[in-house]
Amino acid sequence: GAGVSQTPSNKVTEKGKYVELRCDPISGHTALYWYRQSLGQGPEFLIYFQGTGAADDSGLPNDRFFAVRPEGSVSTLKIQRTERGDSAVYLCASSLTRENTGELFFGEGSRLTVL
């Protein structure tokens, strides 16, 4: 596709449930990022993939959060045992290479609401 695609655009779930958020980056972009944006805050870094591997997962808040990118393209962010504090917009971004990072192309985000 022309841009970064994220699904679902909205997800409402109950506390304790498991959630998966999907990101389809721009074709050919090897670098992929997940960010989380809470109300009134800037995007907060979660994890960075270069190809299939997570090169930096230092932003994941705890072990309930996990992300994969098995074929170096689509990525899935997985959240176990969701908590109300996980409610936020989860943003995915991609860039052509690590050296070109900074010019990130963002998706429109997945808004997660945990009741």
Binding site for other proteins (CB under 8 A): 3-4, 33, 35, 40-45, 48, 50, 55-56, 58-59, 91, 93, 98, 101-104, 106-109
Query: Taking the CB of residue 89, how many other CB atoms lie within 10 A of it?
Result: 18
Nearer to other proteins, 35 or 65 (CB): 35
